[in-house]
């Protein structure tokens, strides 16, 4: 009898951990899937584009596409500053619900969604909508940052 309980508990834990992993993996791909929905191409097209698209971001956007990415980064920052999300890389661990309706991403208004999930969905929705105003990039302009040299005497 004890081994049957052990087996049942193990099976439940395995299912629960699989559901958690699926949600976290899904969180990594929300923006990717929204781009596929609205643009018919991958969000990776914008990775390492200009000063703001990709990891991090600073400086003056090189063009309108880069400006979309700057607003996206600042949208995530605002979600943290407003207290909707914790100050961690939450976009990688907090999935949200949305649907694709005739090539239009629609964020879920489900009461079960946290303020953070709703904020992140809106940020991703807004950047994809912004990118949709422009043709898919065929080249990736680099950020024109001046390197400051510090000489220590």
More confident residue, 6 or 39: 39
In a domain, 12, yes or no: no
50 is in an annotated binding site: no
59 is in an annotated binding site: no
What are 94's two structure tokens? 């907090």
What does the mean pLDDT of the chain come to?
A: 79
Burial class (CB in 10 A: 0-12, 13-18, 19+), 123: buried
In a domain, 115, yes or no: yes
Q: Is the pLDDT of residue 145 over 50?
A: yes
- The residue from 41, 63, 64, 124 that is catalytic is 124
Q: Is 81 a catalytic residue?
A: no
Q: Are 34 and 98 in contact (CB under 8 A)?
A: yes
Chain segment 24-72, per-residue pLDDT in tens:
345 567 999 999 999 999 999 999 999 999 888 999 999 999 999 999 9
In a domain, 5, yes or no: no
Compute the distance between CA of residue 96 and CA of residue 113 in angstroms, rounded to an integer: 7
More confident residue, 123 or 11: 123
- The residue from 66, 72, 94, 125 that is catalytic is 72
In a domain, 6, yes or no: no
Model confidence, pTM: 0.75
Q: Where are the alpha helices (DSSP H) in the chain?
A: 2-28, 30-39, 64-81, 115-131
* Residue 148 DSSP symbol: P
Residue with tokens 């969180």: 27
Please give the pLDDT value at position 92.
60
Residue with tokens 């619900």: 97
In a domain, 7, yes or no: no
What percent of the chain has pLDDT above 90? 57
Please give the pLDDT value at position 153.
35
Q: Are 57 and 89 in contact (CB under 8 A)?
A: no
In a domain, 84, yes or no: yes
pLDDT-derived band at 91, boundaries 50, 70, 90: low
Compute the distance between CA of residue 89 and CA of residue 92 in angstroms, rounded to an integer: 6
Within 8 A by CB and 6+ apart from 21, the residues are none
In a domain, 8, yes or no: no
Q: Is 72 a catalytic residue?
A: yes
Please give the pLDDT value at position 8.
31
What are 13's two structure tokens? 């834990």
Report the number of distinct structural domains present in the chain: 1
Q: Is the pLDDT of residue 14 over 90?
A: no
The enclosing domain of 44 has a CATH number of 1.20.90.10
Please give the pLDDT value at position 75.
94
Compute the distance between CA of residue 42 and CA of residue 34 in angstroms, rounded to an integer: 9
Which range of residues forms the domain containing residue 39? 21-131
In a domain, 138, yes or no: no
């Amino acid at each position: 009898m004890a081994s049957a309980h052990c087996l049942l508990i193990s099976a439940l834990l395995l299912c629960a951990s699989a559901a958690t992993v699926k949600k976290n993996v899904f969180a990594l791909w929300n923006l990717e899937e929204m781009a596929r929905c609205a643009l018919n191409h991958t969000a990776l097209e914008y990775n390492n584009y200009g000063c703001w698209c990709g990891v991090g971001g600073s400086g003056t956007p090189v063009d309108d596409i880069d400006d979309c990415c700057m607003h996206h980064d600042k949208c995530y920052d605002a979600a943290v500053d407003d207290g909707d999300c914790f100050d961690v890389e939450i976009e990688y661990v907090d999935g949200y619900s949305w649907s694709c309706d005739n090539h239009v991403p629609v964020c879920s208004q489900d009461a079960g969604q946290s303020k953070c999930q709703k904020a992140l969905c809106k940020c991703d929705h807004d950047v994809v909508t912004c990118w949709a105003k422009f043709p898919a990039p065929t080249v990736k302009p680099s950020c024109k940052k001046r390197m400051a040299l510090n000489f220590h005497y």
